[in-house]
Each structure stands twice: as C-alpha cells, then as structure tokens.
Amino acid sequence: MERLIPPTPSLKGTLRVPGDKSVTHRGLMLGALAQGESTLYYPLKAGDTLSTAQVMRQLGAEITEQGQHFHIKGVGLRLKEPGDVLDCGNAGTLMRLVAGLLSGQETFAVLTGDASLRRRPMGRVTLPLRQMGARIEGRENGQLAPLAIRGGGLRGIHYELPVASAQVKSALLLAGLFAEEDTEVVEPAPTRDHTERVFRHYGLPIEVEGRLIRTRRAEPFAAKDLTVPGDFSSAAFFIVAALITPDSEVTLEGVGLNPTRTGLLTVLKEMGADLSWEVTEGQDGEPVGWIRARSSQLRGVVVDPQLIPLMVDEVPILAAAAAWAAGETYIPGLEELRVKESDRVAAIAKNLQNLGVPVEAGPDWLRIRGGHVAGGGLVEPFHDHRIAMAFAVCGLPKGVTVQDAEWASISFPSFWEDLERLAGKK
Ligand SMILES: O=C(O)C1=C[C@@H](OP(=O)(O)O)[C@@H](O)[C@H](O)C1
Ligand SMILES: C=C(OP(=O)(O)O)C(=O)O
C-alpha cells in the first residue's frame, strides 16, 4: 500500500507508544515457561510479537487476548513438542531466543521465517548452542534457517560473544536455564539487558559482573504478572519528527527509558536537540517515564561507535535527523546494520538519495550531509519496518510518498494513525 504524506507544517500533542517489542517477546516466552497463570499487561500486539505468541502456543502455552493484555497459562519448564514447523515470520529476536529455549528441550522442532529472516545469520546462535550440546541442523551447516533443533542434555559454557548482540546473549541465557553447570556470557560491549531484568523479575538465576553474565539450571518457577513499558524504539520516530518539523512539540508518555536502549537521546542532545525526559517509575524492573521534544535546529556530529549497540535500531531515524542537521554527520560502527531485516546501511543510503540528501556509505559507516531534503521524494522500505517509518519521518516536513507502508505493522501498527493525529488531521 502506497501512502502519500502531504507537507506537514507542525506536530503537536501527547502520545503513548505501543508496548516494547523486546520485553513482549521475553514476557511471552517466560510466561510460557512458568507454572500457573499470569497477565502480560500492555504488550506489543504487532507482527513480530504475534508470531511469538503463536510459536509459544505451539509449544503448549495457552495465550489468549484479554482486552489489551495477554493472559498466559504456562506449561512449565518442559515445553510440548510442536506438531508443525514454527514460523517466526519477520522476527530475528524470536528465532534466536526460541532456538535457545528449544536447545534445552528434549523435543524436535523446526524453525523458519519469511524471506528476510531466512537470509539473516543464525550461525551466531547455532554455533554456541551446539557447543552446549544441542543438535542443530540448518541450511549452510546451520548458518541459515530453516533450523531443525533436537535439544536436551545441555552443559553450560563460558562464551565470549564475537558480536555485541542482545539476541545471542539471550539465546544462551535461556539455554543456560536447562544446562548442567554455569553458563557464562561475556559481551564485547553492553547491549540491551531486558533478559537479565526479566530473569530477576521471575526469580531466575542471574548474576552480572561487569561484562560477564551468568545463569544456571532453573527450578520450576511460579507465574507472575509483568507490565510492558512503551517502546523507546517506537518513541524515537516521534522524537525526531518533532525535532525536524517547525512549530512542533510532542510528549511521549509511559516510555521505557532503560539506559541500554537510549543512546539516541545522547546523540540528539549533542546535535543540539531541545529534548527533555524524566524517569518517573520503575515497572517490574524497567525504568519508565516521559520524553518531550520540540522543534530544533540540529547540527551534524561524529557519533561515538560505542553508542551504536545502545541505539542499534535507531540508526535509521538518526540518519533522518542528520538529513535535517546543519553540516555533516558521520556514523561509524554499523557492521551489524548490514544483517537486520534489510541491509540497513544500503537502505538508509538509498532512501537519503531518494530524498535528495548527499550521502556516502562505507562497509560499516555512513556520512550524511544535512540541510538538503527535497519535497516529493519516494520512500522504499526494502521490506523493513524501521526504514519505512524513519524515512516517512524524514520526508514529513516537505511531503513524501511511502511505498509498502504496511511494513510499519511489524512493530508499530498504529504509526500512521498516530502521525495523522499529531499532525492535526484526525
Ligand atoms: O534482543 C532484542 O530484543 C533485540 C536485539 C537487537 O538485535 P541484536 O541482538 O542482533 O543486536 C535489536 O536489533 C532487535 O531489534 C531486538
Ligand atoms: C532488528 C529488529 O528486530 P529483529 O532482529 O527481532 O527482527 C528491529 O526491530 O529493528
């Protein structure tokens, strides 16, 4: 579906963004492993997390919609052998985390996904999970899905992650719940720590010593309600939209402000953004609060590559901000963006060019010359929700056409409606 966005003179108002995608995936998985019934409050109900709900149902959990929430009847630590292939859709987080879970089960299961997910690297989880004792087959010797997993009999390992990836860390921690001896993961740089926080919430074994995270075999544990904060990654689109649109002020409420997610705020502040935020409560181990963004004249910056793992999904929207900044922005440390739902380095460069913005792309960097966004450009999402939303925002002040706008529903089904409301059209 193509969407024509007319030039937008201003954005005003308050928005509560949908639930956090990472926390929803984890809440569904741990609720399914728990004994008894619980409610997952304010989960994200979007393409990726509906895939997780479906997969956990196939593994024996009863997951039903209860208004906005999910009611979960857990299976306990021994999941059911699925009667059919498990379809992870577009969700990398689902495939990698559930590969960890299935490695701990004495069952046979096959994981597949859409064309994008079947291109994404799975060796980063299958290699260490095999070291733990899981039997995993897949295309290209387990590098690519479909993956066939027969788990059980795991032993803990000490594993230094070759890439900063919360998905790999989490896959190993989930497998570690079923392993003899300790499982230790060492991160090369801090990544989102939702798994560690959600383990603590359920009283599961978890110890953190600097970059080392340790877990061990879990005892059966009781179901417990979990409240999902608003997704910072979804809020990010509206933060930048308010900054680059004249005469704008947008407040986001109930947003997760976990410091392992908010690297974008640091960079936007350095760019001169009129931004404020405050943590107002802690919800089940996650800090939550509000963010306010007002129209700002941004300036280009050199981004610290250490910040990239703390804003890995926000690079497309940072590139949109850079397109409106005075001067040049240089973003290094982008090797992981090449293996997301699309090759995001290439997709960002192509969309900036479509909008008239001078850009150079290297193997793991982007250089963007701001201040040249043209009206009436075309956004090509490359089957990637974040690319669709980031460049719709980039084109907003001058008007833009977005191809395949339905991709937003992978993580943010109400995005277009929310945008129209803040633009005063609804
Ligand atoms: O653990 C998670 O929930 C996620 C981790 C990140 O991926 P990587 O672990 O591949 O960096 C991120 O890009 C993804 O959207 C969600
Ligand atoms: C990379 C993302 O998700 P996943 O890896 O779960 O597909 C994302 O949401 O931007």
Q: How far apart are CA 359 and CA 204, in angstroms?
A: 47
Mean pLDDT of the chain: 98
Question: Six-digit token pair at 225?
Answer: 């309600």
Model confidence at 175, pLDDT cuts 50, 70, 90, reads very high
Model confidence at 189, pLDDT cuts 50, 70, 90, reads very high
Which atom from ligand 2 is nearest to the alpha carbon of 386?
Answer: 10
At 261-317, the pLDDT tens digits run 999 999 999 999 999 999 999 999 999 999 999 999 999 999 999 999 999 999 999
- Residue closest via CA to ligand 2's atom 4 equals 92
Residue 220 has pLDDT above 80, yes or no: yes
**Ligand having the closest approach to the CA of 93:** 2
**Ligand having the closest approach to the CA of 167:** 1
- Residue closest via CA to ligand 2's atom 8 equals 313
The ipTM, to two decimals, is 0.99
- Residue closest via CA to ligand 1's atom 14 equals 93
Q: How far apart are CA 357 and CA 13, in angstroms?
A: 29
Which atom from ligand 1 is nearest to the alpha carbon of 26?
Answer: 3
Looking at residue 425, what is its pLDDT? 82
- Give the pLDDT mean for 218-238: 98
Helical (H) or strand (E) element with 379: strand 377-379
Model confidence at 165, pLDDT cuts 50, 70, 90, reads very high
At 1-50, the pLDDT tens digits run 999 999 999 999 999 999 999 999 999 999 999 999 999 999 999 999 99
Model confidence at 246, pLDDT cuts 50, 70, 90, reads very high
Model confidence at 134, pLDDT cuts 50, 70, 90, reads very high
Q: Look at residue 200 and give its three-state secondary structure.
A: helix
Q: Which residue spans of the chain are classified as CATH 3.65.10.10?
A: 3-19+229-422, 21-210
Torsion angle of C-alpha atoms 158, 163, 168, 170, degrees rounded to 10: 80
Looking at residue 372, what is its pLDDT? 87
Question: Six-digit token pair at 261?
Answer: 């997610």
22 carries a ligand binding annotation: yes
Question: How many of the other CB atoms lie within 10 Å of CB of 323?
Answer: 30
Distance between Cα 169 and ligand 1 center (Å): 10
296 carries a ligand binding annotation: no
- For the question of residue 313 being annotated catalytic, the response is yes
Phi, psi angle pair for 274, to nearest 5°: -85, 90
Question: Six-digit token pair at 332?
Answer: 């290094």
- Residue closest via CA to ligand 1's atom 11 equals 165
Distance between Cα 379 and ligand 1 center (Å): 24
Q: Where are the alpha helices (DSSP H) in 12-108?
A: 21-33, 47-58, 92-103
- Which amino acid, residue 118? R
Looking at residue 341, what is its pLDDT? 97
Candidate of 340, 384, 385, 412 to mutate for ligand 2, largest count of ligand atoms within 8 Å of Cβ: 340
Contact at 8 Å (CB) between 93 and 25?
yes
Looking at residue 355, what is its pLDDT? 98
**Ligand having the closest approach to the CA of 236:** 2
Which atom from ligand 2 is nearest to the alpha carbon of 167?
Answer: 5
Choosing from 87, 231, 284, 313, which is the catalytic residue? 313
Distance between Cα 326 and ligand 2 center (Å): 30
The superfamily in CATH containing domain 3-19+229-422 is Enolpyruvate transferase domain (3.65.10.10)
- Give the pLDDT mean for 335-361: 98
21 carries a ligand binding annotation: yes
Given CATH 3.65.10.10, say whether it is the number of domain 21-210: yes
- Give the pLDDT mean for 363-391: 97
Distance between Cα 95 and ligand 2 center (Å): 11
Looking at residue 213, what is its pLDDT? 98
Q: What's the order of all strands across the beta sheet hosting 12-16? A: 12-16, 249-256, 286-294, 274-283
Candidate of 261, 308, 312, 384 to mutate for ligand 1, largest count of ligand atoms within 8 Å of Cβ: 312
Residue 426 has pLDDT above 80, yes or no: no
More confident residue, 372 or 293: 293
pTM to 2 decimal places: 0.98
Looking at residue 362, what is its pLDDT? 98
Distance between Cα 348 and ligand 2 center (Å): 16
- Give the pLDDT mean for 110-118: 98
